[in-house]
Amino acid sequence: MQLSRSSQPGSGRSRAVWRVVLATMWAHGTGRFALVVMALWTAIALVSLFWTPVPLGLTDGFNVWAAPSLTHIMGTDGTGADMFSWLIAGMGTDLFIVIVTVALTAALGLLVESLMVSRSVALSQGSIVTVDALISIPTMLIALMLAAPLGATVIGVILACGIGYGLNLARVARPAALLAARSAYVESARANGASAVRVFFTHIVPNCMPVMIVQLSLSAGTALLAEAGLTYLGIGVPSGTPSLGRSIATSVSLITVHPTTVIWPGLTATILVVALNLLGDNLRDAIDPLRNPALRQLGHAVQSSDAAPEREA
């Protein structure tokens, strides 16, 4: 009985923490806006995998560059394809790009961060100098270098953004990581035989989490903008693949004929970028026990439940 009480599943506690975090975000207007937009974006992306108002491959050569109407809300492009359907499908492509870019940014950032706070002076200083040198390379230039062997591909956009943002993440999070690495509890963990990997992920990374969350949310928004810019220049998403950048590039061709057409993909991208930035800000505050009283209360309740079996014993 003592074992069952003292060994509560970690997944149950994780769910309780995330319920508190989501409730805290929902209680704030900006957090509620971010969650609603992200939910709608995800729903539209999933629906677009199976359905669009007009099939993407359906073109009408007799109805090209048509004005917005009930049949074609945003009009048609130079091939007679429905621009609204391409916009909806493009939101799915951009969601994939953002998710994979953030994952690559986090992985590369953590890898470089572990080198920058290494106890080896040569490794630490060498990685810092290398990052400072590489971080000066613009994302656009990285995309151009990747476009030569890969061409205009989604993978090229993800790699260009992930490499640039990952290095920047490591550089921004380094002060907090270095402060944690030199703390007394980290030295105590090392003295007790904890491995370097365990010390890094158990003690150093949690102290960098608020900075990393904000930086990753900025990276997500910037990745979406980078996709639009790179696609407009012809080195981003390839022709025939829907994306917000492709919709903007197509709409620009109509700006002198139907000026309102370009508003919709541009407004969609703006709303998504704002939602991503607000999501990071609110998530940072919600997971910080110093800023979130409800999370502190949950922590105290968990500690009390853990201490009860010990008192009974």
Is the residue at 41 inside a domain? yes
Is the residue at 100 inside a domain? yes
Backbone angles phi, psi at 82, to 5 degrees: -75, 120
- The answer to whether the CB of 186 falls within 8 A of the CB of 199 is yes
pLDDT, tens digit, 9 for 90 and up, residues 260-305: 777 888 899 999 999 999 999 998 888 877 777 877 777 656 555 5
Domain tally, the chain = 1
pLDDT, tens digit, 9 for 90 and up, residues 72-114: 888 787 778 888 889 999 999 999 999 999 999 999 999 988 8
Question: 220 lies in which domain range?
Answer: 25-52+83-292
Closest by Cα among 253, 269, 153 to 221 = 269
Q: pTM surpassing 0.95?
A: no
Is the residue at 8 inside a domain? no
Is the residue at 174 inside a domain? yes
Closest by Cα among 230, 258, 256, 259 to 243 = 230
Is the residue at 33 inside a domain? yes
Is the residue at 187 inside a domain? yes
Give me the CATH number covering residue 275: 1.10.3720.10
**Residue type present at position 114:** S
Q: How far apart are CA 99 and CA 106, in angstroms?
A: 11
